């Protein structure tokens, strides 16, 4: 039986299709049956992933049925070091063995002091030097709510700016700023992307148009959008389909908000702690936000959420935002150990290097199978969009756009070929004044023609996810149409494990293509 290395000096057996003993299978099925009968209809992952984890280490999970899986869900990005990493377990045991209190509300403790010290050591320098931290309830969505309350209190304004495709949590205020909102106090802005660019353009010019739209909404006295309390954005939209924001666009949003005294909130709940190849994803663009919303990996696998913000915004009265379970001692200890391990062992650089390699290999797979419409991501936050086959990929009529590039740009997105200002004006997207970037030399110009993206296929994406699970690979689905297969492996994934993940994903895509009577593109 083959083995998959999961940590130095450790190995776990790779999944095979050997039939599990009937008693084990019966226990496994009984647990799933009771879950279905007792738990809320709102459960999500359990529907698509009918497994019962009983042991885990690193990338590997063992189920109650005896089968082993490679986990590229990682607690939706929570497990930066994978399952049960030794440094995390040691930190938790140390607190337990010390007799320290496990629950002290917001009182100061040595454990909390160590966590804050490590957190501030990692923050962008422009923020860390003049920052305050607010411990919230244990979920990222509560940190988002706290951030909204903070900027509203600090500015005396009420509205918020957010972006199409965003996901900020499931509480009411966070939902208002997310893509599925139905009753909002939030102005929605276009988020730049290539494959399904809202302007039919993509590339640098699509990002420029998105930025100009934002400026117009804010500066037009008849836009219907009064000066807001803040803007919230994700440096990489995760649930929105793994869409990395262009660095120049991020810098533009920073300047737009700073010029208008609008606090900029960076939602780093999923992108933080090395996930994208920088400790915090905003570092790729070099910006310093006014507020950062942090959760998931900062708790080292345990529930923890904080808001970090410029001290000038700290206008709250005592108790303005609180929660009984803010600042869990075990989570802070686990989080301190996780952040220190990532920082000291160069795991951000590792995520950047390995992520770029995986993206390149997946783009090769997309040339082989036409069910893959697009591959994108940054670091170890990767998305593969699954689309319908057999559709024409003809050019858009009347609008020029970017040709598919030969390789990724600085964000890990597919790039575009540049055209001329005359091309832009012919498409009706430029006035008499050429577009230019505030941060990059030269004009941002209209690229060449773009092939229309094929229809997203949530059905085929579900089939790919199911085939992955049959092969012992756990992946998540996301995106606007739930058609993006998402890979969020731990930052500790080895080269051998990465190869195994991609091999199993390739086999799953091939099986789905064959099963639908379609082959390679």
Q: Assess whether pLDDT exceeds 90 at residue 363.
A: yes
The widest CA-to-CA distance across the chain, in whole angstroms, is 75
Q: Which of 491 and 182 is assigned the larger pLDDT? A: 491
Mean pLDDT of 97-105: 93
Q: Assess whether pLDDT exceeds 50 at residue 249.
A: yes
Left (φ > 0), alpha (ψ -120 to 50) or beta: where does 490 sit?
beta
Which pLDDT belongs to residue 389? 82
pTM reported for the whole predicted model: 0.84
Cα dihedral: 328, 277, 250, 298 (round 10) = 0
Residue by residue, what is the 3-state secondary structure of 344-374?
Answer: HCCHHHHHHHHHHHHHHHHHHHHHHECCEEE
Q: Which of 275 and 47 is assigned the larger pLDDT? A: 275
Question: Six-digit token pair at 4?
Answer: 């998959």
CA distance 116 to 462: 41
Which pLDDT belongs to residue 395? 37
Which pLDDT belongs to residue 35? 84
**Residue 94: CB atoms within 10 Å:** 13
pLDDT one-digit tens code per residue, 31-62: 888 888 898 888 888 888 889 999 999 999 99
| H-state helical runs in 67-187 | 74-77, 86-98, 110-122, 125-128, 140-155, 172-176
DSSP state letters, 142-156: HHHHHHHHHHHHHHS
Which pLDDT belongs to residue 183? 54
Mean pLDDT of 285-311: 96
**Residues in the chain, overall count:** 521
CA distance 198 to 8: 46
Q: Assess whether pLDDT exceeds 70 at residue 427.
A: no
Residues 6+ apart with CB under 8 A from 95: 102, 111, 329, 330, 333
Q: Which of 400, 497, 411, 485 is nearest to 449 (CA)?
A: 400
CA distance 314 to 153: 9
Name the 3-class secondary structure at 331.
helix
Tell me how far CA of residue 434 lies from CA of 15, 102, 322, 431, 446, in angstroms. Answer: 57, 60, 50, 7, 10
Q: Assess whether pLDDT exceeds 70 at residue 165.
A: yes
**Residue 318: CB atoms within 10 Å:** 5
Which pLDDT belongs to residue 426? 34
* Partners of residue 262 on adjacent β-strands: none
Q: Which of 197, 254, 260 is nearest to 446 (CA)?
A: 197
Residue % of the chain over a pLDDT of 90: 66
| Highest mean pLDDT: which range of 15-24, 432-441, 492-501 | 492-501
pLDDT one-digit tens code per residue, 108-123: 999 999 999 999 999 9
Which pLDDT belongs to residue 244? 97
Q: Assess whether pLDDT exceeds 90 at residue 186.
A: no
Tell me how far CA of residue 317 lies from CA of 6, 29, 94, 325, 478, in angstroms. Answer: 48, 52, 35, 19, 39
As to burial, measured by CB atoms within 10 angstroms (0-12 exposed, 13-18 middle, 19+ buried), residue 135 is buried
Residue 425 pLDDT grade (very low, low, confident, very high; cuts 50, 70, 90)? very low
Half-sphere exposure of 519 (CA within 13 A, CB side): 0
pLDDT one-digit tens code per residue, 328-345: 999 999 999 999 999 999
The angle subtended at Cα 86 by Cα 85 and Cα 89, nearest 5°, is 90
* Contact in structure between 140 and 305 (CB atoms under 8 Å): yes
Q: Which of 50, 6, 3 is nearest to 489 (CA)?
A: 6
Q: Which of 2 and 197 is assigned the larger pLDDT? A: 197
Question: Six-digit token pair at 365?
Answer: 């797979």
């Amino acid at each position: 039986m083959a083995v998959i290395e999961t940590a130095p000096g450790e190995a776990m057996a790779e999944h095979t299709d050997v039939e599990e003993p009937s008693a084990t299978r019966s226990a496994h099925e009984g647990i799933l049956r009771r879950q279905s009968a007792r738990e809320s209809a709102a459960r999500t992952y359990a529907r698509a992933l009918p497994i019962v984890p009983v042991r885990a280490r690193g990338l590997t999970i063992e189920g109650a049925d005896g089968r082993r899986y490679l986990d590229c869900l990682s607690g939706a990005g929570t497990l930066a070091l994978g399952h049960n990493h030794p440094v995390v377990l040691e930190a938790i045991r140390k607190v337990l063995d010390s007799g320290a209190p496990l629950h002290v509300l917001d009182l100061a403790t040595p454990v909390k002091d160590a966590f804050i010290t490590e957190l501030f050591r990692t923050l962008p320098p422009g923020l860390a030097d003049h920052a305050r931290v607010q411990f919230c309830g244990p979920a990222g969505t509560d940190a988002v709510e706290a951030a909204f309350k903070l900027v509203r209190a600090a500015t005396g304004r009420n509205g918020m700016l957010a972006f199409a495709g965003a996901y900020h949590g499931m509480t009411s205020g966070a939902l208002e700023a997310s893509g599925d909102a139905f009753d909002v106090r939030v102005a929605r802005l276009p988020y730049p992307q290539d494959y399904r660019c809202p302007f039919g353009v993509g590339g640098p010019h699509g990002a420029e148009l998105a930025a100009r739209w934002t400026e117009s909404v804010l500066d037009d006295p008849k836009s219907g959008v009064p000066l807001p309390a803040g803007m919230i954005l994700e440096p990489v939209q995760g649930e929105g389909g793994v869409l990395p924001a262009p660095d120049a666009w991020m810098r533009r949003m920073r300047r737009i908000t700073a010029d208008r005294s609008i606090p900029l909130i960076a939602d780093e709940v999923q992108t933080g702690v090395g996930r994208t190849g920088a400790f915090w994803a905003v570092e790729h663009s070099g910006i310093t936000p006014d507020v950062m919303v942090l959760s998931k990996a900062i708790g080292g696998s345990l529930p923890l959420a904080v808001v970090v913000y410029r001290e000038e915004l700290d206008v709250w009265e005592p108790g303005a935002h609180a929660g009984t379970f803010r600042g869990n001692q075990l989570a802070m200890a686990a989080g301190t150990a996780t952040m220190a391990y990532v920082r000291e062992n160069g795991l951000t650089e590792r995520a950047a290097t390995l992520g770029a390699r995986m993206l390149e290999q997946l783009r090769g797979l997309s040339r082989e199978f036409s069910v893959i419409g697009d591959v994108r991501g940054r670091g170890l936050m990767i998305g593969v969009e699954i689309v319908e086959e057999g559709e024409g990929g003809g050019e858009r009529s009347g609008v020029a756009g970017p040709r598919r590039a030969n390789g990724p740009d600085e964000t890990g997105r597919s790039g575009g070929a540049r055209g001329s200002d005359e091309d832009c004006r012919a498409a009706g997207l430029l006035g008499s004044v050429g577009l230019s970037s505030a941060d990059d030399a030269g004009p941002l110009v209209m690229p060449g023609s773009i092939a229309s993206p094929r229809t997203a296929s949530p059905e085929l994406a579900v089939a790919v996810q199911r085939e992955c699970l049959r092969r012992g690979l756990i992946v998540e689905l996301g995106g606007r149409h739930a058609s993006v297969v998402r890979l969020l492996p731990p930052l500790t994934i080895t080269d051998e494990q990465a190869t195994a993940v991609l091999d199993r994903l390739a086999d799953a895509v091939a099986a789905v293509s064959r099963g639908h009577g379609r082959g390679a593109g």
